[in-house]
Amino acid sequence: MIVEVCANSYEYAVNAELGGANRIELCKDLHLDGLTPDDDISVSTINKLKIPVFILIRPRGGDFVYNNEEFELMKNDIKKFKKLGCSGIVSGVLNTDNTIDIKRTKELIELSKPLEFTFHRAFDKIVNPIEGVDQLIKLGVNRILTSGQEGTAIKGLKLLKKLNKINNNRIIILPGAGMKTKFFEIFSKAGFKEIHGSFKSEIKKV
């Protein structure tokens, strides 16, 4: 099983790799559920780590509906982090009615190529997750980070399993939120190949 660790500092990312993480999602301001990381931390992390580093592209906290200025910033950030050598992009855009903004999300995906693209937990806000999976598959998204629209992934396991079943291996469902190592076996037996978490109590801090 691939373990993706959400890290909000260079030190945390290094310790996650030492602890056996397979991939890093780098961000800042976890109290806001994660924002786009600063350049200096990103450069250090990308250059130091041997495992893939995905970058979260989210300009602010709150909802996932962005004005033109915010969206331009997101696009410019993707271009910048691609040049810095990241391995993937984590982002997404919604409409005001909590449906996926197909046009803008497609723009972000196209800008991210050839890197992998993860649609982040904006997915947990959408009104029709079944339809959402199909839309994201058609857009060419590699994976969906989701808690199953619950506060934690373990609580959302029922929907997560349903999403994993209907996608028929066309996209990776990446369970995240409140993830702990003691849940690994549960998710593995349920058919998930990847999991996501910060694992704060389980990764040694510098």
What are the tens digits of pLDDT across the range 38-70? 999 999 999 999 999 999 999 999 999 999 999
pLDDT at residue 202, rounded to an integer:
74
Rounded Cα gap, residues 36 and 102, in angstroms: 21
Are 5 and 34 in contact by the 8 Å Cβ rule? The answer is: no
Mean pLDDT along residues 2-11: 97
pLDDT tens-digit map of 72-118? 999 999 999 999 999 999 999 999 999 999 999 999 999 999 999 99
Task: Enumerate the β-bridge partners of residue 196.
Answer: 4, 176
Are 154 and 183 in contact by the 8 Å Cβ rule? The answer is: yes
pLDDT at residue 200, rounded to an integer:
82
Residue type at position 1: M
Determine the CATH number of domain 2-197: 3.20.20.380
Is the pLDDT at 206 greater than 70? The verdict is: no
The torsion defined by the Cα of 100, 103, 108 and 114, in degrees rounded to 10, comes to: 110
What is the overall mean pLDDT for the chain? 95
| CA angle in degrees (0–180, nearest 5) for 199-204-206 | 125
Rounded Cα gap, residues 176 and 197, in angstroms: 6
pLDDT at residue 205, rounded to an integer:
46
Rounded Cα gap, residues 148 and 174, in angstroms: 10
pLDDT tens-digit map of 125-175? 999 999 999 999 999 999 999 999 999 999 999 999 999 999 888 999 999
Residue 36 makes CB contacts below 8 A (sequence gap 6+) with 27, 28, 55, 56, 57, 58, 59, 74, 77
Residue 149 has φ and ψ, to the nearest 5°, of: 60, 30
Question: What is the band of 185 on the pLDDT scale with cuts at 50, 70, 90?
Answer: very high
* Alpha carbon 87 to chain centroid, angstroms: 13
Domain ranges within the chain, ordered by starting residue: 2-197
pLDDT at residue 76, rounded to an integer:
98
Rounded Cα gap, residues 39 and 169, in angstroms: 35
